[in-house]
Amino acid sequence: MKVGILQFRPVLGDKSKNLKTIGRFLRRRKFDLAVLPELCSSGYNFSSKEEAFDIADKKGGETFSFIEELAVKTGGAIVWGFPELSRGKLFNSAALTTPEGDHHIYRKTHLFYREKFIFEPGNSGFKVFKWRGVRIGLMICFDWIFPEAARSLAIKKAQIICHPSNLVMEYCQDAHVTRSLENGVFIAMANRSGLEKNRFADLSFSGRSQVTDNRGGRILSYTASEERFGVVKIKPELADIKDVNEFNNLFGDRRVDLYQA
């Protein structure tokens, strides 16, 4: 299975330019599953809820059609982040859009910083979607710092965790080595690069998108600033092997009765 991660600089408020950039990158290389950054259709650093409302996407809307068409044309599934408008509410969401026309949506559980004034806390929970026999879990950006996010997805048998991000710090990249190792899963983390200013803060995004394998090895990693769509071949079924050695198993050895929730 060919997994690609796209790192680029979405332009705040310019959806048509962002979708064009996404299309251009994804048509360049063959992939089965592509992961794009958080809020990649809209940009990140909204000054107000109204600004996010104006550019938000609805399931069935034209951004969904655009991504679906891209999935059909390329033959690959696409995980992409966007501001979701649903029944008058805004969520920081990601969708797994397949060439078959399915859109599986995850809504960010742990909102970061001023996102709390823009979006509702996600209500979807951590979900794993099966596509062509591969079990794909979704989480978004700041979810990474809560070990329960990746853990929940792995317990629900995710083989690959797709992690659209707009990270400003650089801790997550190293943390994913541990997250992959402790859960025995692949993690495809697509971060953005570039700078976004608004009246509250200038945000410089940390890039360094990466794919870690089921043993925590970095099998694809970018620099902080580059724009790139790279692809790496993985065997998702390796994530079903949870044995550490002949007597230890990452999940069989868990002692849930002794853990503090």
Spell out a b/e string for 169-186, using b for 16 or more CB atoms within 10 Å of the CB, else e. Answer: eeebbebbbebbbebbbb
Distance CA 124, CA 101 (A): 20
Interaction between residue 121 and its own copies (CB under 8 A): yes
Interaction between residue 62 and its own copies (CB under 8 A): no
Active site residue 108: yes
Structure tokens at 170: 């650089």
Active site residue 51: no
Interaction between residue 181 and its own copies (CB under 8 A): yes
Placement of tokens 């790192």 in the chain: 7
Active site residue 38: yes
Q: Which helix (H) or strand (E) holds 258?
A: none
Q: Tell me how far apart the 2 most distant CA atoms of the chain are, in Å.
A: 57
Query: Which residue in 2, 29, 114, 228 binds its own copies (CB under 8 A)?
Result: 114
Q: Taking the complex as a whole, how short is the minimal distance between the CB of residue 126 and its own copies, in angstroms?
A: 7
Interaction between residue 200 and its own copies (CB under 8 A): no
Q: Are 142 and 112 in contact (CB under 8 A)?
A: yes
Identified catalytic residue from 15, 40, 127, 141 = 141
Q: Taking the complex as a whole, how short is the minimal distance between the CB of residue 115 and its own copies, in angstroms?
A: 9
Interaction between residue 110 and its own copies (CB under 8 A): yes
- Report the candidate in 207, 203, 210, 211 with the shortest Cα–Cα distance to residue 225: 207
- Judged by the rule CB under 8 A, the positions of this chain that interact with its own copies are 109-110, 112-114, 116, 121, 125-126, 142, 145-148, 151-152, 155-156, 171, 174-175, 177-179, 181-182, 216, 244-248, 250, 253-256, 258-261
The residues that are catalytic are 38, 108, 141
